[in-house]
Amino acid sequence: MKKKVTIYDVAEAADVSLATVSRVINGSNVVKPATRERVLETIKRLDFKPNQIARGLATSKTTTIAVVFPQSLFGHVKDMIGGIGDTGRTLDFNIIMYTTDELGLGNPIEEVIEKVIKSRADGVVLFNNNCIDKEIDLIKKYRIPAVVVGYKISDEDICSVYVDAKSIAYDMTKQFIEQGKKDICFVRATQNLVDLNDFAKGIEEAFKDSGVTLPEDYIVDVSNHYEESYPQLKEYFDTHKHDVVLTGYDKEAVAVVNAAIDHGINVPEDMQVVGMMDTSYATICRPPLTTIHVPVYDMGAIAIRLLTKILNHEEIDEAEVPMHYAFIKRDTTKEPLIFKGGQ
């Protein structure tokens, strides 16, 4: 069966925005003649049949923002929903949410972006995940204004709000090494709001700058889901023990603590553990979890404000917004750490 041609097929083939295609369909006189001819020729060549959605794209804004994230990141995103929703309401924007599955397969991102376009959302908020590069390529392809949370990027009609994971990991690792803790492990989940590649680079650079050999296989990959990561780590601790375990999210850190204690590894006496984000997982952990506090409500609020500035053609002072962070000393580490750049 022949695939139905859509407005974004026309926009891609003609190398114009969705709104430009819609303006041509509606007979708007603001489109340059050469561009109009190119779009009309593309419509004819692709045998595109405009529908009401295509006709309506250029006529009015919907004051709707789409939020797209993998289901496996809901634990991360839920803490930002307050900031997203409150700021959206304050600025008179509606928020609609779409989810993809953990690997971007069961609910392909192409289908989700198609739903976003059909909903006539004015812009989209994306969250760092394993498929973020593909998602960014798609929003560029269809010229959808966007803000990416957790991944540093800026481009035409694209801004970002992020945590400097590389600096966090570097500062922590450097100070642990200075304390004589050189056997450092990084427990990495399959999906994370924080850029885990940058986190790993921070660890590696800290070892290099300290003149210390980085432990082989210092990264341990685990599932995003506690019921899977806990047994994975419990088996891992059959043969391993480290001075320090760093994680990209509090939930993985809780799994580390519980698996270690169940193996008779005392935390923090035998092994220190640090989480990330300062979520409710950190306070329910026993012992209470040392972690990095990130103002997630503010991240959500800033993401919406940045996107509305793009949509309203307002001046944007900073297209890549780094968030402040702070080391929260609780009972899974021995000594406090000092961050120079994040607080």
Give SS3 for 205: helix
User: Can 64-162+296-312 and 165-293 be said to share one CATH topology?
Assistant: yes
Work out the pLDDT band at 306, boundaries 50, 70, 90: very high
The pLDDT, as a whole number, for residue 187 is 98
Segment 197-209 mean pLDDT: 97
Mean pLDDT of 31-60: 77
Q: Which CATH number fits domain 64-162+296-312: 3.50.50.60, 3.40.50.2300, 3.20.20.140, 3.40.50.2000?
A: 3.40.50.2300
The whole-number average pLDDT for the span 102-106 is: 51
Residue 18, pLDDT score:
73
Query: Where exactly are the structural domains of the chain?
Result: 7-56, 64-162+296-312, 165-293
Domain spanning 165-293: which superfamily? Answer: Response regulator (3.40.50.2300)
pLDDT at residue 167, rounded to an integer: 96
Task: Provide the mean pLDDT of the chain.
Answer: 89
Q: Thinking of the domain 7-56, which architecture would CATH place it in?
A: Orthogonal Bundle (1.10)
Q: How confident is the model at residue 313 (pLDDT cuts 50, 70, 90)?
A: confident
pLDDT of 9-37, one tens digit each?
888 899 988 778 877 887 777 788 999 99
- Distances from the Cα of 255 to the Cαs of 151, 278, 286, 300, 336, in angstroms? 25, 15, 11, 27, 22
Flag whether pLDDT at 246 surpasses 70.
yes
pLDDT tens-digit readout, 268-296: 999 999 999 999 999 999 999 999 999 99
The whole-number pLDDT of residue 341 equals 53
Higher pLDDT, 21 or 202: 202
Nearest C-alpha neighbor of 72 from the set 200, 222, 182: 222
Which of 164, 138, 226 is CA-nearest to residue 189? Answer: 226
| Rounded Cα gap, residues 175 and 329, in angstroms | 14
Tell me the pLDDT tens digit for each residue of 106-132: 567 888 888 888 888 999 999 998 889
